[in-house]
Amino acid sequence: MSAVLGGLIAVLGTLLGSFSTYLFQQRTAMRTEAVTHGERLRQERLAAYSEFAGAVTELKRAVVAAWLRRSDPAELNQARIEADRLGALAETARFRLRLVSGQPEPLADAAFAHMDALRGAADQAELKIREAEFEAAVSAFITAAAERLVAPRRAAL
C-alpha cells in the first residue's frame, strides 16, 4: 500500500511540475510574442515616419526648383510635372503614416501644408523665410516622431 501511495505521490509531483513548466513557458512565449509584435510595429512606424520626412523634403526641393524656374515656361512646366509627381509620393507617404500610426498626424499635415506657402512666395527673401518655416515644421515632426518611437521602448524596459 505504501508503495502505491509513494508512486501516486511521485506521479502527482511529476504532473504538477510538468503543468507549472507548461504555464511558465506559455507565459514566456506570450510575452516574447508581444515584445516581437511591438518591435515590428515600431519598425513599421520608423519606416513610415522616415519615408514621409524624405518624401516631403523631396517635394519641397521640387517646389523650390519650380519657383526658381518660373521665368522660363518650358523649364517651369517640367519642374511642375516633377513637383506633381513628388507631391503624389508625399501624399502617399502621409496616408501610410496615418495608417501605421493609427492616429491623426497634425505635425505631418502642417509640414505638408507649407508647400502652398512656398509656391506663393512673392520673392526670394520670402521664399527663404518659407523654407525656414518648412524646415522648422519638419524638425517638429521628426522630434515628435522620435519621442513616439522611444516612449514604447522605455515602457517595455
C-alpha cell at 35: 515584445
Q: pLDDT tens digits, residue range 34-63?
A: 667 788 888 999 999 999 999 999 999 999
CA distances from 129 to 6, 63, 87, 116, 148 (A): 87, 14, 21, 13, 29
User: b/e per residue, 41-74, with b = 16+ CB within 10 A?
Assistant: ebeebeebbebbbebbbbbbebbbbbbebeeeee
Q: What is the pLDDT of residue 18?
A: 77
- Of 18 and 29, the structure prediction assigns the larger pLDDT to 18
- Tens-place pLDDT, residues 70-113: 999 999 999 999 999 999 999 999 999 999 988 899 999 999 99
